[in-house]
Amino acid sequence: MADWLSNAIFYEVYPQSFQDTNADGIGDFKGIIKRLDYIKELGCNAIWMNPCYDSPFMDAGYDVTDYYKVAPRYGTNEDLKELFDEIHKREMHILLDLVPGHTSYQHKWFKESMKAEKNEYTNRYIWTNSIDEFPECLHSIRGFSDRFGTCAVNFYSLQPALNYGYVNANKDYQLSPEHEDCMKTRQEFIDIMKFWLSMGCDGFRVDMAGSLIKKDDEHSTENIKLWNYFMDAIKTEYPDAAMVSEWGEPKKSIAGGFDMDFLLHFGPAGYTSLFRSETPYFSKEGKGDIRVFVEQYKDFYQASKGKGYICIPSGNHDMQRLSKGRDMDELKICFAFLLSMPGVPFIYYGDEIGMKYLDNITSKEGGYYRTGARTPMQWNSSVNAGFSTGTPDSMYIMLDPDKERPTVEKQEKDEWSLLNEVRRLNNLRMKHKALQSDGEIEFVYSEKNTYPFAYIRRNENEKILVVINPSGKDESCTLNIKEANVLYYVQKAAELNQGKLSVPACSATFFQL
Ligand code: TEU
Ligand code: CA
């Protein structure tokens, strides 16, 4: 594992929407450089930046046309190198977003692959030898090429699937993962990773990492093998490179050599039960069930302990924002939890000030309902909230029109703002190793349909009890711990008296044991 992850706190930057410096309404690398001190002062020491490669932007850059060149709208490769350098000057790290599963249909490999004559790229993508619908229910591109065939796609119909082969390949068009053409696809991505690592990038977030090898890889055995192959190729030369997967199954991804995996909004447990179900645990309503999360988390945690980290993000560019349905007090409690869990925290840009999810705004670059979570960062009270000096109607995505919209400037002045709470929580984590990535966790109170919820974080030198009550009611419970001193609290401190814990509504308390 990359050592620097043991105290990493990430900030996800959606480059389009962070800071524009040339008034075209789209964020750029120079803008990110300008805001690095802000990220550092927030207490984050690492960045994950969404794809910034050349692209027609039909899926916001997850449709790449050149993996070796950045999109001109963000700057040049030299500007990105400068961003790397500025990040390292501040003792921070950055991950780029790698999209190994598909390209844009406008990629030169795909143009070659569509040709009737056989060439180097004929098997770079998954094609059948017929123009019928794709037989395995993968979505497909048909009727587009001179080539007589149908090509599989991974996400939108404009993202043809790269060919890493099939488990138990048994149809004429299915290649085995070891086929030399599939090995060429692998080699290309090794070259791509090395290209950016040698320029100073510190690793990658890997898009749809669990889906490269196709069909019936029920236990993902082949896909795990494939990732181990990639990791061997990368990590011998770049042992400090960090890799985080968009997989959502840490048992598999970490077996594949990833340092970290996200707990995602797929399925009812995990992130969903905490923040997004009909009755999320983190709500003043107080109707959630923490067991749903704890059961799944314990399983993931046991399997990954000592080998890799589980990352619970505050949100990301694919889902509604954490603030949806929550007020600032509730958000503070969410962060007290997120920033005191094992593994590596990820804060989605703007969540630290409680930026709103904008319902039903016009889709941008394939964003659809995700667009509302991708609006420009709100810095201050100047035009376009300080995101850009362009005309308001030329913005990449509209800004939150609310006159009272939260901004960094306003919240910096208010000691009790969400922003300052997140800063304090990050500082607390940085001061106590027990709270960082490797500190162990033991759930000491997590009963079905019950509030509060308590866990101990510990390392060789220290033990910290964390008590979380997101509900709007005062709650209490009994613990095996008689008393302890309060180290830090959010909103109002809980009290521990002879093993009886009294926990104020909507509060979080850290006790030193
Ligand atoms: O998302 C993959 C993914 O699993 C999606 O189904 C995601 O859950 C969806 O956006 C609904 O929330 C990744 C990227 O994060 C996403 O932005 C890309 O559009 C997608 O891959 C294709 O590259
Ligand atoms: Ca710009």
pLDDT score of 215 = 85
Question: Which residues lie at CB < 5 A from ion ligand 2?
Answer: 20, 22, 24, 26, 28
Q: Give how far Cα 99 sits from Cα of 16, 38, 161, 204, 508, Å.
A: 17, 28, 11, 10, 38
pTM above 0.95, yes or no: yes
Q: Give how far Cα 51 sits from Cα of 28, 325, 368, Å.
A: 12, 29, 18
Q: What is the mean pLDDT of each run of 10 residues along the chain (513 residues)?
A: 96 98 98 98 98 98 98 98 98 98 98 98 98 92 96 97 96 96 98 98 97 88 97 97 96 97 87 96 98 96 96 97 98 98 98 97 98 98 98 96 97 98 98 98 97 98 98 97 95 96 98 97
Q: Whose CA is nearest to atom 10 of ligand 1?
A: 318
Give the distance (Å) from ligand 1 centre to CA of residue 318. 6
Give the integer Cα–Cα distance in Å for 195 and 143.
35
* DSSP per-residue letters across 136-157: TS--EE-S-SSSSS-EEBSSST
pLDDT score of 266 = 82
Asked if residue 452 has a cis previous peptide bond (ω within 30° of 0), the answer is yes
Q: Whose CA is nearest to atom 18 of ligand 1?
A: 62
pLDDT score of 269 = 84
Place of tokens 């009737």: 116
Give the distance (Å) from ligand 2 centre to CA of residue 49. 16
Give the integer Cα–Cα distance in Å for 488 and 494.
10
Give the integer Cα–Cα distance in Å for 1 and 307.
7
**Minimum-distance ligand 1 atom for the alpha carbon of 266:** 8
**In contact, 235 and 257? CB cutoff 8 Å:** yes
